[in-house]
Structure 1
Amino acid sequence: MAVKKQFDSFQELLSGSDLPVLVDFYATWCGPCQMMAGILEQVNAQMKHQVKVIKIDTDKYPQIATEHQIHALPTLVLFKQGQPVERIEGVVPADKLIQRLQALV
């Protein structure tokens, strides 16, 4: 299950993780984001030892979305050592997403 976290700073969350962090930028009103939620659960189930999945509600954290130039929802950003290494916009099937992530982590 993807964790909804409260944290002091997004950067702290990223740099504090031993694993690469896949951030799902979403909004509660966004239909495709609801579809991604189920897909991310599959990704999380298969890759929980390789990547940490977190969700960021762009309505609650607009400054984080702005900082990372999130213009479309859902947008997934993969961070390694606190740096963004991959962006995936829109809904991607779980198998395709897992393939892409495994190539990166």
Structure 2
Amino acid sequence: MAVTLKDFYADWCGPCKTQDPILEELEDDWEGRFDVEKVNVDENQETANEYQVRSLPTLIIENDDGVVERFVGVTQRNDIETALEEAGA
């Protein structure tokens, strides 16, 4: 099952910069068990609207069945890991 973590961010968003190292570390440690798709909301307004993103950062974890989990605000690594496991990563 394909698992994707969509990271909705903006260059001007301070909390997004706090979230980045957590995601990078997870990506390294989980080596290809899930894909990360970074979505700049300023450049991809349509995608942000489609997912009803209103605050940044927003993380959305999806698998083949659709959205498994949504996090708004800076999210801790263990919460993301739990959601990734639930999604089948």
Q: Distance in 2 between matches of 1:97 and 1:55?
A: 15
Partner of 1:60: 43
Higher relative contact order (CA 8 A, sep 6+): 2
**What is the deviation of 1:93?**
1.7
Distance in 2 (CA, whole Å) between partners of 1:60 and 1:38 is 22
Question: What TM-score does the superposition give when structure 2 sets the normalisation length?
Answer: 0.87
The correspondence for 1:49, drawn from 32, 36, 40, is 32
Say which of 11, 19, 28 aligns to 1:36.
Answer: 19
RMSD: 1.6
1:85 to 68, 75, 86: 68
Ranges in structure 2 where 5+ consecutive residues have no aligned partner? none
Does residue 67 of structure 2 align to residue 76 of structure 1? Answer: no
- May I ask how many residue pairs the two structures share in their alignment? 88
CA distance in 1 between counterparts of 2:2 and 2:14 reads 29
* Structure with the higher fraction of residues in strand conformation: 2
